[in-house]
Amino acid sequence: MVINSMKLYLKRENLIHNMEYLRKSKGKEVLPVVKANAYGHGVEEIVQILYDNGQREFAVARYVEAERILKMGLKDLKILIFESIGDLSLVKDKEELEISANTYEELEKIIDFGVDSKRVQIKIDFGFGRNGILIRDLQRLKEYIDKKQLNFRGIYSHLFAVNYEEGLEYIGKFHEILRYLGKERFQMIHLQNSAGVLNFDCEDVTHLRVGMLIYGLQEVGFYDENLKQVFSLEGRVAGVRDISENRYIAYGTKEELGFLSTKYIAKIKIGYADGFLKINEKSNCLINNKEFPIVIVSMDNTFIEVDTSVKEGDRVVLYHDISKSVAHNGMNIYEMLTLLSPRLEREII
């Protein structure tokens, strides 16, 4: 029996291409950000592909995300956790985990707890109120580092700028901080996320700390045509029904749904429980490379208005034009992808 399911296919070649492209074109190492289930792609799959290609350093937001990667049992991993760790005993003996010092007090706490500073990365806050050690604590920090003769795994900050000039100003500030604290104390230096990489060059950094770009995704307004999208959400038509005599399509009347003249409906096995939300209704999908409108998204299935050319087993692609879907749904790409649920099968191709 053929099960005509929908899956999130992950193109190994494209992921590796994006990593290599970023590394070569920018002349920096890449620290891939695999938080939020690797932006919905599937963290085990993405980490495994990168690991097989020689990547050993990864970054996540939370401890639970790092724990999930550790369970894969891979050797020589280094996983940076951005957010503060509530209970340091969780990480103390896990040599693979690198932790962030998000305030000056936290740094003292981490060192006092006995975590080697070579596993710590200092986060500097330029005043965006996210997290990081504040500029006003820099002098204390410098005195503390000097007194204890500390060398760190890394130092980083978040480059968020409303405009180009402001961005340059922050890069300048970051450079000054590095000089003040002593650049040689840090093995890794990183400042730019994906938008930062597309907008700015930054000499001092050793790594690009990127999520979006490695998955080949870009926000509206940024465009680098060398990047290749990694995911493809596709599968096969599970069945086609002639509903010309029916008043209803799945859970609604044709009238309510705005599909009064619909004759044929194709069903596919994906629904909002997979993270393919109802908001996708009235957007288009591709069947046999032709666009057809999505009528209803239910919990487990989605129904598409088709014509007589469409048959059970035909190839269906959702989100075939991600920027159109983003515009239709009024969401950003990060939101749409991180919503994809664990129930949806992932397959590396």
Ligand X SMILES: *Cc1c(COP(=O)(O)O)cnc(C)c1O
Tell me which stretch binds ligand X (CB under 6 A): 72-80, 113-121, 193-201, 320-328. Answer: 193-201
Which is it for strands 252-253 and 186-190: parallel, antiparallel or unpaired? Answer: unpaired
DSSP label of 320: S
Among 207, 209, 236, 267, binds ligand X (CB under 6 A): 209
Subset of residues 233 to 272 that bind ligand X, contact rule: CB under 6 A? none
The verdict on 216 binding ligand X (CB under 6 A) reads no
328 three-state secondary structure: helix
Q: How far is the CB of 211 from ligand X (least distance, A)?
A: 3
Give the whole-angstrom CA distance, residue 28 versus residue 133.
25
Quick check: 42 and 222 in contact, CB under 8 A? no
Quick check: 190 and 207 in contact, CB under 8 A? yes
The verdict on 194 binding ligand X (CB under 6 A) reads yes
Q: What is the dihedral of CA 233, 235, 240, 244, to 10 degrees?
A: 10
Element (H, E) at 190: strand 186-190
The verdict on 210 binding ligand X (CB under 6 A) reads yes
Among 6, 33, 97, 150, binds ligand X (CB under 6 A): 33
Nearest to ligand X of 82, 276 (CB atom):
82
The verdict on 212 binding ligand X (CB under 6 A) reads yes
Subset of residues 155 to 184 that bind ligand X, contact rule: CB under 6 A? 158
Within a 13 Å sphere around the CA of 321, how many CA atoms are in the beta-carbon half?
10
Among 21, 58, 63, 82, binds ligand X (CB under 6 A): 82
How many binding residues for ligand X (CB under 6 A)? 12
Give me the residues that bind ligand X (CB under 6 A), please: 33, 35, 61, 82, 158, 193-195, 209-212
